[in-house]
Amino acid sequence: METCPKCSSNTSIIRAGMIRGKVRYHCKSCDFHFTKEHPEKSRPTKQIHTTIKDIAQVMGVSIATVSRALNNKSDISPKTREAIQKIALELDYNPNMFAKGFQRGETKTIGVVIPNIKRPFFAGVLSGIQEVANEHGYRVMICQSNESFETEVTNIQGLLASHVDGLLISHSKETTRFNQIKSLFDKGLPMVHFDRICTEVDTPKIRQEDFGGAYQLVEHLIQQGYQRIAILAGPTELLISQKRKEGYLHALKKHGLEIRPEYIHHGDFSKEFALASLDSWRQLPEPPDAIFAIHYLNAVEIIQYSKELGIQIPNELGIVGFGDEYLAEIVHPALTVFHLFPQKVGEVAAQMLFRVIAEKGNYKREDILVQGKLIIRKSSLKKPKG
Amino acid sequence: METCPKCSSNTSIIRAGMIRGKVRYHCKSCDFHFTKEHPEKSRPTKQIHTTIKDIAQVMGVSIATVSRALNNKSDISPKTREAIQKIALELDYNPNMFAKGFQRGETKTIGVVIPNIKRPFFAGVLSGIQEVANEHGYRVMICQSNESFETEVTNIQGLLASHVDGLLISHSKETTRFNQIKSLFDKGLPMVHFDRICTEVDTPKIRQEDFGGAYQLVEHLIQQGYQRIAILAGPTELLISQKRKEGYLHALKKHGLEIRPEYIHHGDFSKEFALASLDSWRQLPEPPDAIFAIHYLNAVEIIQYSKELGIQIPNELGIVGFGDEYLAEIVHPALTVFHLFPQKVGEVAAQMLFRVIAEKGNYKREDILVQGKLIIRKSSLKKPKG
DNA sequence: TATCTCTTCGTAAACGTTCCCGATAGGTGA
DNA sequence: TCACCTATCGGGAACGTTTACGAAGAGATA
């Protein structure tokens, strides 16, 4: 016969069914339900983290005092403060950012959404972001969309669940609907766009000198005496694609050159696309005498392929591109590029985000253009140098 | 005269000093201290996140029920569950991972410590880690040490404060003391080392085929007829440096070639180091006729510099390297490399970490060697191909 | 009707931290 | 001695979530 844990009676106990696999009892005299308990109380889990509670226990003070000591707050005597800090050091305490963030409503973490880490541009951006974030005492959470809209949405969802304090976004190629981030923006989540920006939301935007760079590259080609300049552009939807094409068109117009639609190819940056474009251009009655590739890899691929085909660079064909410096230097002939500063983009973007976070919504929106630099090498030097 | 909020007396109130800028009172009749309160109760902060409490309020049920519904637990009727899930969707709810992690003691976040994101190898590793982490529903927090021991320690400290569930580490060049991670390991924090591993702690280690790759590269050089093979190694402390050198030495020994100390240069992977090494080797009475650079960038730099110096590659000087495929293909002459699979390394490392996490300490430690692949190109082809 | 059963829901504690507010001790000046 | 003061400490609520366990009710069985 069982005993009621409440009134200690053992005469008025009846069985009252099963619950969660255990027998349930009912004490009629005090009207109390209960189950048999199992005497299992082992907590063998090794404790990885020291808490302020541990410190409080050791010191014989309250957790409030420990908190004050560790955060250098007032209302505490220097002696106590130092003693606690010493113990904290000894016990190898470090604060649980989760609990901290949880209670203060901020997590000291920012989220970054990019298409692909492996692309040197984004790796550089990340490096810049990291640096600035570290200076501000923030951690960085990174997600890749792999150019998939769906993944991007899921990623942002995940970052949001982790309660990031802010978001740095560079959209995937696929992304054309922005209701998700629009709603986040409306809710007041600090966000900054960079590179692959989105014009439909009123966030600060960090961009590279796409228009100006393209303009400078094409103008350089024209000054070198090239007349029939083709452009190997990216996907039509991509903003950098549009901007760089605009720079290209503007340079042509400015210098009175004809714009020929057959010289304008849009593609997906793949090697196949680049080579096929070159093939098709060569079959024109008037093939281009220079190519502006908005992606440096395509430019490099064109150079390699031209060598295979026996095309003389830069005399028969001038080539310029956007982007990465190192590879451009290595290829033969070295590639004239408009060099961008990925790390700088990351730094500027992160700094902007921290401004937005600090100013709590009432910031003045601002767009920033990170300057690039024209680097002239042999792939476009038709004239003798000088 | 003030009124005591406890006994409502207003005759026995005396001032009792100041506290936190406010006047303090003392009621003598009920022995109660109090301050004047300021009637400020505004909460204008826009709410970014919906909580289960919000849902519970809307539905008129308890938060426990909401939690059960959203986590597909038992003890709930299908009708209620569906209704709650519908509301949750409408209210755009997503769970606060912080609170969740906080209460369950796990954060669904892993930390990664690497020397530098910008290096293609690590970018590739990260990409692999990300992918596997996503599959497991984990988020990734990344830190760069920038090859600084101090930064590395701080980073790990920070990740720990964020209560990551596990750690993936590739050490900086500087790191020679491992007491920090040793103590973490002893506390039971799941950890996996990759690439720049640490032999002093009994963690699972993911390595690349350093020894085997170096052996294959050098053997290939020997088979091509090169006799005086030099090695451009990295810092002595670095394990990959040691392993690759061992492979080099083993190949020489196996084929009966003399080991010449003057052919072995240790450095910091910098361009200056590579060029200076080539200069110094050329001044030897018997300069090397082939160079094995354990870092592909050094190999590429040697190729470029050799061209400047008018050295014929591969006839006068054969060159082979470790690493990145794309750049190796682009350079002229194309570089023979032992290709590694960074993404694979990341995937394997992450998978291993999740195994460790899942098996809660009682896992069997295992080291994994991620296979590489010898890719022969022109920079080492002395003999006509075939 | 008395006893037993199962389903479904609510209550409350716990996680680690911060912060508001009151408590207490020891002063000072009249 | 009484009114007043300051410095320093503790108690406890709050943050969002999960979960152990009890409550309530309906139905089944005797």
- Gap between the Cα atoms of A155 and A150, Å rounded: 9
* pLDDT grade for B215, boundaries at 50, 70 and 90: very high
pLDDT score recorded for residue B294: 94
Q: Does this chain's domain B105-208+343-370 share its CATH topology with B210-339?
A: yes
- Gap between the Cα atoms of A102 and A109, Å rounded: 12
Strand D contact at CB of residue B14, distance < 7 A: yes
Q: Rounded mean pLDDT of B200-226?
A: 95
Q: Rounded mean pLDDT of B302-329?
A: 89
Q: Do B102 and A107 touch (CB under 8 A)?
A: no
Q: Is residue B237 over pLDDT 50?
A: yes
Protein-to-nucleotide distance from the CA of B133 to the C1' of D19, whole angstroms: 27
Buried-exposed string B60-79: b where 16+ CB fall within 10 A, e elsewhere: ebeeebbbbbbeeeeebeee
* pLDDT grade for B99, boundaries at 50, 70 and 90: confident
Mean pLDDT of chain B: 89
Protein-to-nucleotide distance from the CA of A76 to the C1' of C28, whole angstroms: 22
In angstroms, the separation between the Cα of residue A86 and the nearest Cα of chain B is 18
pLDDT score recorded for residue B150: 94
* pLDDT grade for A361, boundaries at 50, 70 and 90: low
Strand partners, B233: B266
- Gap between the Cα atoms of A278 and A261, Å rounded: 15
- The residue assigned the tokens 């005591």 is B4
Q: Is residue B310 over pLDDT 80?
A: yes
A118: chain B residues, CB-CB within 8 Å: 120, 123-124, 127, 343
For B330, the closest chain A residue by CA position comes to A331
* pLDDT grade for A352, boundaries at 50, 70 and 90: very high
Phi, then psi, of B15 in degrees rounded to 5: -70, 145
**Portion of chain A with pLDDT greater than 70, in percent:** 95
Hey, which residues 206-245 in chain B have their CB within 8 Å of chain A? none
Q: Is residue A43 over pLDDT 70?
A: no
Q: Rounded mean pLDDT of B351-378?
A: 89
Hey, which residues 103-162 in chain B have their CB within 8 Å of chain A? 107, 109, 116-118, 120, 123-124, 126-127, 130, 139-144, 157-162
Q: Model confidence over A220-253: pLDDT tens digits?
A: 999 999 999 999 999 998 888 999 999 999 999 9
CA distances from B351 to A257, B36, B138, B189, B197 (A): 57, 60, 12, 16, 17
pLDDT score recorded for residue B39: 46
Domain B105-208+343-370 sits in CATH at: 3.40.50.2300
pLDDT score recorded for residue A97: 82
Q: Model confidence over B26-66: pLDDT tens digits?
A: 888 888 888 876 544 344 445 778 899 999 999 899 999 99
Higher pLDDT, B8 or A294: A294
pLDDT score recorded for residue A344: 96
Residue A367: how many other CB atoms lie within 10 Å: 12
B99: nearest nucleotide, CA–C1' criterion? D16
In angstroms, the separation between the Cα of residue B13 and the nearest Cα of chain A is 26
Nucleotides of strand C under 7 angstroms from a protein beta carbon: 3-12, 14-25
Tokens for B225, please give them: 């007829």
Task: Point out the residue among B117, B189, B300 whose CB comes nearest to the CB of A126.
Answer: B117
Q: Which of the residue ranges A14-28, A193-207, B118-132, B371-385 would you say has the lowest mean pLDDT?
A: A14-28
Domain B53-95 sits in CATH at: 1.10.260.40
Q: Model confidence over A80-106: pLDDT tens digits?
A: 999 999 999 988 888 888 888 888 888
The B 70-129 residues near strand D by Cβ under 7 Å are 70-71, 73, 75, 95-96, 99-100, 102-104
Task: Point out the residue among A98, A159, A326 whose CB comes nearest to the CB of B107.
Answer: A98
Q: Is residue A256 over pLDDT 60?
A: yes
A74: chain B residues, CB-CB within 8 Å: none
Strand C contact at CB of residue A105, distance < 7 A: no
CA distances from B54 to A115, B87, B95, B104, B384 (A): 34, 10, 12, 21, 76
Strand partners, B367: B205
Give domain A52-95's CATH superfamily: lambda repressor-like DNA-binding domains (1.10.260.40)
Rounded (5°) CA angle B211-B217-B218: 90
Protein-to-nucleotide distance from the CA of B111 to the C1' of D16, whole angstroms: 24
* pLDDT grade for A45, boundaries at 50, 70 and 90: very low
Torsion, Cα of A142, B269, B267, B299 (10° steps): 140
pLDDT score recorded for residue B1: 59
With 0-12 / 13-18 / 19 or more C-beta atoms within 10 angstroms meaning exposed / middle / buried, residue B288 is buried
Higher pLDDT, A227 or B328: A227
Q: Rounded mean pLDDT of A247-261?
A: 96
Is the CATH number 3.30.60.50 carried by domain B210-339? no
Residue type, B248: Y
- For strand B318-322 and strand A264-266, is the pairing parallel, antiparallel, or unpaired? unpaired
pLDDT score recorded for residue B163: 84
Could you tell me the residue ranges of all domains in chain A?
1-38, 52-95, 105-206+348-358, 210-339
CA B140 to chain centre: 9
* pLDDT grade for A75, boundaries at 50, 70 and 90: confident
Residue A219: how many other CB atoms lie within 10 Å: 18
Q: Is residue A153 over pLDDT 60?
A: yes
Q: Is residue A37 over pLDDT 70?
A: no
CA A148 to chain centre: 14
Helical segments of chain B, H only = 52-59, 63-70, 78-90, 97-104, 120-135, 149-161, 179-186, 210-223, 239-254, 271-282, 296-309, 325-330, 342-358
* pLDDT grade for A207, boundaries at 50, 70 and 90: very high
Mean pLDDT of chain A: 89
Q: Rounded mean pLDDT of B59-77?
A: 90
Tokens for A152, please give them: 């991007």
Pick the CATH number of A105-206+348-358 from 3.30.70.20, 3.40.50.2300, 3.90.660.10, 3.30.1330.90: 3.40.50.2300
